[in-house]
Copies of this chain bind each other. A is one copy, B any other.
Amino acid sequence: MDEGENMDPDVGGQPRDAPRPKPWDGRFTDEQSPLFERLNASLPFDYVLAPYDLRGSKAHVRMLGSIGTLTPDEVSLLLAGLDRVAAEVAAGTFPWDLHDEDVHMAMERRLTELVGPVGGKVHTGRSRNDQVALDVQLYLREGVAGHLERIFDLMEVLLAGADRWRGVIMPGYTHLQRAQPVLLAHHLLAYVAMLERDAGRFLRWRESSWMPLGAGALAGVNYPLDRVMVAEELDFGRVADNAMDAVAARDAAFEYLAAAAACALNLSRLAEELVLWSSQEFGFVALPDAWTSGSSMMPQKKNPDGAELVRGKTAGFLGRLVSLGALVKGLPLAYNKDLQEDKLYLFASRSELDLCLEAMAAMMATLEVDAERTRVTAEGGYAQATDVADYLVARGLPFRDAHRVVGRLVALAAGADRTLASVSLDELRALSPLFDSTYYQVVDLERVVAGKISPGGTAPGRVAEQLAAATERLAVLRALRPPITAAGAG
């Protein structure tokens, strides 16, 4: 895509007679190199912007009519033509031609074929620099709406899981070592919290995004455009204040890629847990057949390909983010051709994030949990040891002595692969005469979990509280979510 004003002799916005593929070629003595055209052409990827480009053109045409730059007849003709082009794009019948170089030229060429020379007037008062900036904004805004919907769906799946597996106890890990027993619901709610922040990042991004059209090539144009009207029609809350900024800045694109990467990173951690939990060694969950690949000979084997791919795809998000940064670093204002590459990163991150979110929601929705296995594993973590020490201290044993006794107790149990609850009173008394049968209440796993009563803790009441609050907030977020406009609408 050449976003350049140079493709457009009338940067001030004067209409021109008819689109000319290479309007400057009069002065060039040599043909452009085919290799250069291969390097230069953006149509092979920017064609996806077509619906957004047309939507922006319609808003632009209406505005030009409202300020008297186009006559009502011209407006009608152009809008009807743009609708016809949009219909062709939607139907897959649009006659793409690589000689158009970029999507903007393609749309205008076709419009003019359909409505005649007046088609050229669509470009009055704009340049391809602000046009592509608008297209990308519309593209990303719609992308964000789609991400939000999928994030909310995944949150819902996780909340449903937290509710369904409310009583399931599992080991909480640090350093991949069993640390403390927690409710599975508590664990899942951690991801709900992360996803809520992901949604927040996308919502804030959308609020702060701005409408660039009307900036011309970099200096504004010679018409008293009504940019607020265009912004309102396209549902933007803000208009870019400065024409040069509007076409040159890429910080919003960088912020978008960072938000997408942050979300992917969160998903990668859940994906890693699915890989671990579905291994035979952990055995906590079974992934749905629909998300694994297997082996005809080894029926116990289900490869967690879906989770691995979500984890793996995260690397691409980081690469694209850093690519955009390296692309923009040290570029002087305003437009430089390098910036054409940004679309590759943006397009890939939008579609990959949707894919990862959908995949994760589908996997989590059909996950089977082996609650017996998670519970037994938690027992094997001896996480009650701390409470046993407190018990002995409460009975008068100095802390260090209590510590020593409990160390021996755990060694005894772990050596024989037994739980703390299975140690007999005789065995206990051999370690310390202070033990009595109330010990068995202390080492009860449910009791340990129930003791974590601080707000946000894993005690069932606290988890229920979190679950209710998160469910409520999700409803609010769903209401805030921007509608997913069909790109061609408007």
Contact = CB atoms under 8 A, between A and B. Distances in A.
A298 B383 contact: yes
Interface string A303-314: 111101111111
Nearest to A129: B174
Contact of A216 (B329, B337, B380, B452): B452
Contacts of A125: 454
A299 B177 contact: no
Nearest to A7: B293
Contact of A17 (B320, B359, B399): B399
Nearest to A175: B303
A308 B112 CA distance: 31
Interface string A185-202: 011011111100110110
Contact of A319 (B39, B216, B323, B407): B323
Nearest to A301: B177
Nearest to A226: B455
A336 B336 CA distance: 22
Interface stretch (A49-57, A74-82, A273-281): A273-281
Nearest to A328: B265
In the complex, which of the residues A179, A333, A454 has the most CB atoms of chain B within 10 Å of its own CB atom? A454
B355 A338 contact: no
In the complex, which of the residues A194, A312, A355 has the most CB atoms of chain B within 10 Å of its own CB atom? A312
Interface string A207-225: 0100000111111111111
A240 B456 contact: yes
A349 B14 CA distance: 42
A353 to B, nearest CB: 13
A290 B30 contact: yes
A33 B362 contact: yes
A446 interface: no
A289 B454 contact: no
A28 B457 CA distance: 31
Contact of A298 (B279, B327, B331, B410): B410
Given A24-B294, A190-B245, A245-B194, A179 B5 contact: yes
A488 B42 CA distance: 31
A190 B220 CA distance: 13
A202 B241 CA distance: 20
A322 B333 contact: no
Contacts of A332: 173, 176, 269, 272-273, 276
Interface in A34-83: 35-36, 38-40
A315 interface: yes
In the complex, which of the residues A26, A125, A246 has the most CB atoms of chain B within 10 Å of its own CB atom? A26
B279 A176 contact: yes
Contact of A214 (B5, B187, B302, B456): B456
A383 B410 CA distance: 35
Interface in A353-400: 355, 358-359, 362, 377, 380-383, 385-387, 389-390, 393, 399-400
Interface stretch (A91-99, A140-148, A253-261, A428-436): A253-261
B6 A294 contact: yes
Given A262-B251, A359-B35, A335 B466 contact: no
In the complex, which of the residues A17, A222, A224 has the most CB atoms of chain B within 10 Å of its own CB atom? A222
A37 to B, nearest CB: 9
Contacts of A224: 453-454
27 contacts: A6-B174, A7-B295, A12-B390, A16-B399, A25-B296, A26-B404, A28-B289, A35-B362, A36-B359, A40-B293, A172-B334, A175-B335, A176-B276, A182-B244, A187-B244, A194-B249, A204-B208, A216-B452, A243-B452, A243-B454, A258-B262, A269-B328, A271-B330, A296-B407, A309-B340, A312-B341, A315-B327
Given A177-B301, A239-B455, 11 more contacts: A24-B296, A175-B305, A175-B335, A177-B303, A180-B217, A221-B452, A272-B330, A312-B327, A314-B325, A319-B321, A326-B326
